[in-house]
Chains A and B, each alone.
Chain A
Amino acid sequence: MAELRTLVTKVRSKNAGPFWLTIDIFCGSPEAYARVVRDLETARIAAVFEADSQTIKRFDMPDLNVVKFSLPRPAVQGAVDDRDMHGASWAALVGDLDI
């Protein structure tokens, strides 16, 4: 078991417009990519954000050694209950995951 952030080059999250959040996991090597693809189930991401797995789009991109997830934002950007206008801090929750 290891924290995801220690296995990869970078975990980035950003807004993809006001209603979507996108998370890019830059694995940095084919080995790290293979491990993330194998061990990071979409359901784990759903659990992090208390989201429905069905709403999460997943892209495994071997050419870039990237695993990407996109999901409806946990709170709409700038809404009264939003805590992060640019959506960048959520990457930390994903980086915390044990793999």
Chain B
Amino acid sequence: MRKRARALARARLRTGLPRFAQRFVLMTRVLIPSGALGLNYDADALARGIAANPDIIAIDGGSTDSGPSYLGRGVSKYARASTKLEWAGLMKARAEAGVPLVIGTAGTCGTDSAADWMLDITREIATEQGTPLKVAVLRSSQDPGSIARAYEAGEIVPLSGAPEVTGQDIRACSNIVALAGAEQIAAALQTRADIIIAGRTTDTAIIAALPLMRGDHAGGAWHGAKIGECGALCATNPQSGVIMIDFDDTGFTVTPLADGAHASPHTVSAHMLYENSDPFILHEPGGHLDVTGARYTALDKTSVRVEGSKWVPADRYTVKLEGARPAGCRTVLMALLRDPHYVANAAQWAEDIVARCSAKILDRMDIAAEDFTLEIRLIGHSASFGALETRSGDPVEIGVIGIITAPTEEQAAEIGKLLNPYLLHHPLTQEEEQPTFAFLFSPPDMHQGVVYEFVLHHVLYLSDPMDAFRLEVIDIG
């Protein structure tokens, strides 16, 4: 707790404000163009935000929501073309406003490779715009070997719902990132960089950092950041993206900036439900936010004032870890059933194929039963929920997806070739004429290569917030 207070005091001093101003709490205006770079933003609303003189522009670049493959490979989910176009617009807006522009969780997953991808795009734009810039890059990638040792030494503890892991599982990760909080973003802001490209951060840290540095209300800073992290999702017309949040010494005020977008106490408070397992408590590095006592008041038709949220510092400083490791290679086959006899008996047909094909795989390939998976999901029957499905219907047709995972691409492809004849011709009974089902393509098999799985839902103890992160300042353009 004392350490955090010291870090914040340091952060405040280094903002370079005149000493007299430091005695007063400053209002901090944060402009948030959208919930994620790559989702587009309303250019008119952004211009309105720039005209309102923000202190910082902050945008999120990713999350785990698209699945483990992006973290596993260290790549972005969004098109480079979209990212570049939207980032160029924000860089231009930043130059006009003369304030820092921050992206958190750059390139969807926030690995060092994703941050470098974002830096590369930033360099291109800076050259094209003819603007020399100072860029701070905050790197969040972790060495799996060091994390495994920290785990074995008891410096990493599981969060509720975490999977069982071993040091070996951690060493097998292709990428591990630590989620930076406000302290690491503050360190990046203290470099006085024009642009901050942060690897993995919490969604809120990039918004909360500056208000905290300037001494605004801590509960308000984190709560406002949570409300703002998805852009205008906390308002009506959520696709419009752009919102502005004013932080001060008692709370925050949120204002969506697009035409026709309104925030109400209901839309704002309901946003605490969104993708949150607990709508009142939000854990962050160094403590947690408690919004049990928050009061939401409409200022007018557009803006909402929030006060009464509480920041509760933790005894020890922790950062959350995310990791992804290879889980084999996947081959997928698709077919269609339209013959009513097969549509009506699809589940039995699929079960029979899995049993026969599995036996053939074990008989003809040098592979153990525990080293591969073969599953058929039936679209139109039970593909969404499998055994949890409670309904049945009378579909016109059924989509058949054969999903195979095996240790190597060759083995997954080979199993696909063993499955192929069944999906094309397997009869329900020996008595009937050989059926032929519809394949959509030639070949019908699609090879996904290495697939990944999430491994960690843990936190790492740090004695200094910067211990797991690296900050580099680069001149570009």
| Interface residue ranges, A against B (CB under 8 Å) | 14-20, 22, 24, 26, 48-50, 55, 57, 59, 61, 63-64, 66, 68, 70, 72-74, 76-80, 83-86, 89-90, 92-93, 96
Asked whether any CB of chain A lies closer than 8 Å to the CB of B130, the reply is: no
Shortest C-beta distance, B279 to chain A (Å), equals: 6
29 A-B residue pairs with Cβ-Cβ distance under 8 Å, sorted by A, are A16-B275, A16-B277, A18-B454, A55-B161, A57-B278, A61-B279, A63-B269, A64-B266, A64-B269, A66-B273, A72-B161, A73-B161, A74-B388, A76-B163, A76-B454, A77-B64, A77-B68, A77-B454, A78-B68, A78-B452, A80-B373, A80-B453, A83-B383, A83-B386, A89-B385, A92-B384, A93-B385, A93-B389, A93-B390
Find chain A residues with CB under 8 A from B274 CB.
14
Please, which residues of chain B bring their CB within 8 A of the CB of A24? 273
Identify the B interface with A (CB < 8 A). 64-69, 161-163, 266, 269-270, 273-280, 322, 327-328, 373, 377, 383-391, 405, 451-454, 457
- Which residue of chain B is the closest to A97 with respect to CB atoms? B390
Nearest B residue to A14, CB-CB: B275
Chain A to chain B: the 10 pairs with minimum beta-carbon distance, closest first: A70-B277, A78-B67, A16-B277, A78-B68, A18-B454, A19-B161, A72-B161, A20-B277, A85-B67, A19-B457
Between B161, B274, B280, B389, the greatest number of chain A beta carbons within 10 A of the residue's beta carbon is seen for B161
Contact partners of A76 in chain B: CB under 8 A:
163, 453-454
Min CB distance, A14 to chain B, in Å?
5
Which residue of chain A has its CB nearest to the CB of B280? A59
Give Cα distance in the complex from A89 to B388, angstroms.
12
Query: Which residue from chain A places its CB closest to the CB of B64 in the assembled complex?
Result: A18
Q: Which residues of B contact A18 (CB under 8 A)?
A: 64, 68, 322, 454, 457
Given contacts A57-B277, A85-B66, contact A96 B390 (CB under 8 A): yes
Whether A80 lies near B277 (C-beta < 8 A) is no
User: Nearest B residue to A63 by beta-carbon distance?
Assistant: B269
The answer to whether A78 and B277 touch (CB under 8 A), given A19-B161, A64-B269, A93-B385, is no
Q: How far is the CB of A43 from chain B (nearest CB, A)?
A: 16
Let me know if A15 and B275 touch, CB within 8 A: yes
Rounded to whole angstroms, the CA-CA distance of A27 and B400 in the bound complex is 37
Chain A residues within an 8 Å CB radius of B388:
48-50, 74, 93
Q: Which residues of B contact A64 (CB under 8 A)?
A: 266, 269-270, 273
> In the docked arrangement, what's the CA distance between A73 and B162, Å?
11
Knowing that A86-B65, A92-B384 touch, tell me 4 more A-B residue pairs with CB under 8 angstroms: A18-B68, A64-B266, A64-B270, A83-B383
For A17, what are the chain B residues with a Cβ–Cβ distance below 8 Å? 64, 275, 277, 457
Whose C-beta in chain A lies nearest to the C-beta of B373?
A: A80
Whether A84 contacts B405 by the Cβ 8 Å rule is no
In the complex, how many angstroms separate the beta carbon of B309 from the nearest chain A beta carbon?
15
Contact between A19 and B270 (Cβ–Cβ < 8 Å)? no
**A contact residues around B69 at 8 Å (CB):** 78
